[in-house]
Amino acid sequence: MVEDIEVTIIRMPGQEDIPLPRYMTDGAAGMDVCAAVDDHETIGPGQRKVIPTGIAVALPEGYEAEIRPRSGLAARYGVTLVNAPGTIDADYRGEIGVIMINHGQEPFAVKRGDRIAQMVVHRVARVAWVESGALDRTVRGEGGFGHTR
């Protein structure tokens, strides 16, 4: 069962033409987020830029939004996000920016209104640490990276 929540969103001044985040299919977990650049921004190979989205949100307490890469941009152009996923905390009220990086061979142009990332909203849990002298045992134990070859 999918939970529906209401989230307050504002558009930054002058960004009224930028689409609000939206689900592109009925089964999508993430909403596409669009670029609010003046005309376009070019990201050169190996370069990163913070791309504005023209929106700010007020997530309810107990929720966070993750900003994730779009797989199509990564597959076709080598463009992804530096800090994926980025976290929007419930108490953040500023404009959402997307830190994009170009791992491709050619300059990549981000145009006004382009879909540049996805936003997924989740419930969060608060942790109360319980310090102990030992952890319970598991089959995996301390097996780390690549331990299940």
Q: pTM value?
A: 0.89
The Cα–Cα gap between 97 and 35 comes to 9
**Would you say residue 128 lies in a domain?**
no
Strands 48-52 and 63-68: unpaired
Tens-place pLDDT, residues 46-79: 999 999 999 999 999 999 999 999 999 999 999 9
**Would you say residue 135 lies in a domain?**
no
Tens-place pLDDT, residues 34-51: 999 999 999 999 999 999
**Would you say residue 15 lies in a domain?**
yes
CATH number at residue 39: 2.70.40.10
Give residue 66's domain range. 8-123
> What DSSP string runs through 70-132?
-HHHHHHH-EEETTSSEEE-TT--S--EEEEEE-SSS-EEEETT-EEEEEEEEE---------
**Would you say residue 64 lies in a domain?**
yes
Tens-place pLDDT, residues 93-126: 999 999 999 999 999 999 999 999 999 999 999 9
**Would you say residue 142 lies in a domain?**
no
**Would you say residue 130 lies in a domain?**
no
What is the tally of structural domains in the chain? 1
Mean confidence (pLDDT) of the chain = 95
